Structure formats: structure tokens, C-alpha cells
Amino acid sequence: MIVSTFDRVSGEYSEKSLVQRKAASKLFDLLEVRGDESTLDVACGPGHITRWLAEATTGRVVGTDISQGMVNEAGSLYPDIEFRCLAAEDIDYRDEFDVVFCNSALQWFSDAPKALRAMFASLKSPGKIGVGCPATYEFAPWFGRIVMAAARRPEIGRVFQHWRSPWFQLPTVPDYQAFFEVSGFETAYIQLDHEVDNLSVDEAYGIYITGAAQGFAGKSYYDIEIDDDYIEAFGRAVREEMEESATGGKVEVDFNRLYYVGLKR
């Protein structure tokens, strides 16, 4: 399950999740949280973005995450902010927040339509939501190529053929817009950006470990039992493929990332 998956990286997520933090900064600017707006940070992770939100408004700020490890980390780092261990699908707030912020998480939700309806219900009228997420079927082209190269190795491929994608993805921007609007939101902004970062292998691997690896090597996403030896071997293979693809110690990491701002009237 995604719960235990992200528990394992809760302590290193804040430091290594470079592209997630960059995306959060852009979403933060688009959403313009300010004044006394009450804000719900859905899938808050270790709370570093929740802290940004709390510094931007004098209103109530709450962070929720499905991973108890992430919530524990957030609570220890920012004891003055309210955090709850709660799946997005189970959000139980009703008409309580001016803003919902959800960064780099929609693709992980096990029931994305239910999660979006719960976020809509948590907002006051008027209210607004900001969502940023890797999107479309090829959401991480470079990572996809690297992982598929690793998976072609015989020691990985025999097991990897039993993997099933955990991610919620839609093929086009209009499909995403319809997805949001069927839940009641009025679209204020939607854009798919192709984002490219020139990073060291260490940085790229850190992003992989705190993100995509939790899907590609998550035990719940195989139809056979996999062990820690396989996960470690998979990680080594991915790292080696990254090193082989590097030029001057650098690699170009790219994502197709959707940014959405919706209004609840």
C-alpha cells in the first residue's frame, strides 16, 4: 500500500524531493494564498510546503497525509501546525476551508474522483483549489526510459513483468479539465508544462527514490510477492542506468506536469 511505501522515505523526502518542491512553489504562486484564508494541504508529506502556507496566511492551516510516517515527521518539524493522518478519499471536512492545496499527489490517489469530491466538499463557497501533478500517460519521460532500461535486465525483468502501474493518469488536458469540472469546480487556470531540470545523478536519483520508485518498486503493485533484495537490486540498476546516461555527471530530468486552479462558487 502507498501508506507503508511513503513511510520509508518520510525522513529524506524534504531534502531530496527537488522537483516536487519546485512544482509546489509554482502552484503556490498560482493559487495566491494570502490574508486570513484557511487552507487545507492535502498529501502534505513532511510538512515543508504546509509551513509555506502557514507563513502566507493568518488563517487556520491543516496538513493531511495518508502516511503516518510523513505525518509524524511533519508534526516533529512543525509542532505549531495541525497535521492529520488521513487519506484524501476520507477527508471529512465540510465547508471549512477557503483554499485546498494539493501538490504532486493526485497521481497516487487510489480513487481520484472520490478524493476530488472530498476536497470539493471541504471548501467553503466561494473557495478555490490548486492541484499540481505529473500528468498524461507519459508523465516522466526520462524516468520512464531509465526504468524501462533497468527492467530489461534479466535479473529485474523476470519479476518486473508482474508489475502493474499504480498511477491515476488521463491522456489529455481536456480530459483533466472535465475530470475537475464534473466534481463541481469551475476552471480558472489549467496548463500542462514540460519541465526540464539539469541535475546531478545524486539529485536525480534522490527524486526517483522519493517519488517514482515508490510506484515502480512498491510491493503492493506486483501480482507476486517481492522482497527487499529485489527492491535494492532494482534501485541499483536504475542508478547504474542514470550514471550511464549522464554527460559530465549531469542528466536532464523532465516531467509533463499539470497545474490547475479551480473555483467553488
- Give the CA distances from residue 73 to residues 38, 47, 68, 84, 159, in Å, rounded to whole numbers and listed in that order: 22, 8, 8, 12, 33
Neighbour tally for 26: CB within 10 Å? 16
Instruction: Retrieve residue 147's grid coordinates.
Output: 526504468
Which residues partner with 133 through β-bridges? Answer: 258
- The CA distance from 142 to 89, in Å, is 30
The secondary structure element, H or E, covering residue 129 is strand 123-134
Classify residue 153 by its DSSP letter.
Answer: S
Which residues partner with 82 through β-bridges? Answer: 62
pTM for the structure as a whole: 0.90
pLDDT tens, N- to C-terminus, the chain (265 residues): 444 445 454 445 444 445 778 889 999 999 999 899 999 999 999 999 999 999 999 999 999 999 999 999 999 999 999 999 999 999 999 999 999 999 999 999 999 999 999 999 999 999 999 999 999 988 989 999 999 999 999 999 999 999 999 999 999 999 999 999 999 999 999 999 999 999 999 999 998 998 889 999 999 999 999 999 999 999 999 999 999 999 999 999 999 999 999 999 9
Domain annotation for the chain: domains and CATH numbers: 2-264 (3.40.50.150)
Quote the radius of gyration of the chain (alpha carbons, Å): 18
Q: Reduced to 3 states, what is the DSSP secondary structure of residue 47?
A: coil
Strand order in the sheet with 186-200: 82-85, 61-65, 39-42, 97-103, 123-134, 250-264, 186-200
